Amino acid sequence: MNSLKELWGDYGQAVWFDFIERALLSGGGLSRLVADDGVRGVTSNPSIFQKAIEGGGAYGDAVAELLENDPTMTTVDLYEALAIEDIRGAADILRTVFEASGGDDGYVSLEVSPHLARDTEGTLAEAKRLWRTVDRPNLMIKVPATSEGIPAIERLIAEGINVNATLMFSLDHYEAVAGAYLRGLEACAEPARVASVASFFVSRVDTKVDAALDAIGTPEALVLRGKAAIANAKLAYRRFGELFGDDAFAAHAERGARVQRPLWASTSTKNPDYRDVIYVEELIGADTVNTLPAATLEAFRDHGRPRASLSEDPASAEQVFAGLAALGVDIDAVTEELQVEGVTAFAASFDQLLAALDAARD
């Protein structure tokens, strides 16, 4: 059996594709991923759109057509027109998954401008505008889990707008996002019609922690390399079980609400010394999503070995964190720094995307 399909069929984990491009939609690539590999959703971010648009192809013709119809269109409006057409196209392809799953899957994500990550009201306004403009029930609006993004997430859920809470790196980030979702459900008139995922970034944690461990250089430090990210995710999954277990979530479930699934993001392997599917094989569990870039998806299809890894030896995750603390590695400082860097990186990608569109316009 296809290892990707096993994730859903045997372990209850959905695979979403971490890429979007017009040729993927028009050429039937996404439809094949859904049919052949069991892909159940799509995520996007400014970096993905930047690379796709810089690649030219169908986007060059689309830019020319848009500007011919409206030569005064701003570069931001040009980006939105391109992105929204792609998002709608992906949502329409995934609509069969959305309907068959009763709204549990079949989503495509579109991010508010990363320049709004520290602006609650600006995030709310843009999220609502994008929700109305795209006009697809299987859209998720991506909102960064910054301190300013948390109240926006709560209010969007309360208004029945699907949210992908992104750029989470720590248990504190997860607690804040889960709390916002639960409070939003309480205020939501129709909680059965809203969905959300909590996007927990993985590989970047190992990249930064490993650098600190390499600098320490002792045997006790080096043995912990490549373990922090998985331990971090396992502890978040355990907390998910506590917050969304049958008893804890019962009152919301009676109103038809669905749990907010953890989504594992940044799952490509950055260190060539590590197995290329480590952040797939070690993060498999029910009621989760793993969003995979193309290379990781193909690698797992080829040689992935599924097992229910998230529930294995939860005490080992605590031991990893205890070991890091004993070595003086401040995981809280690391994860806060990662979120700041993530916001900055996405904003830079957004600016590069606009610069690419300016070049295409010229």
Q: Which residues form the catalytic set?
A: 142
What DSSP string describes 21-60?
-HHHHHTTHHHHHHHHH-EEEE---HHHHHHHHHT-THHH
Q: Give the whole-angstrom CA distance, residue 327 versus residue 218.
A: 9
What 3-state class would DSSP assign to 136? coil
197's tokens: 């995922």
What 3-state class would DSSP assign to 17? strand
71's tokens: 């030569």
Contact 110, 165 (CB under 8 A): no
Pairing of strands 139-144, 196-201: unpaired
The residues pairing with 197 across neighbouring beta strands, listed in sequence order, are 164, 261
**How many Å from the N-terminal Cα to the C-terminal Cα in the chain?**
49
C-alpha separations of 204 from 66, 198, 294, 335 in Å: 37, 16, 18, 9
**Segments in the chain forming alpha helices (H):** 3-11, 22-26, 29-37, 46-54, 58-69, 75-93, 95-100, 120-134, 149-158, 171-187, 203-216, 219-222, 228-244, 250-254, 278-281, 294-303, 314-326, 331-361
What is the dihedral sign for C-alpha 46, 47, 49, 50?
Answer: positive
Selection from 72, 49, 23 nearest residue 352 by Cα: 49
Buried-state track 314-338, b at ≥16 Cβ within 10 A, e below 16: eeebeebbebbeeeebebeebbeeb
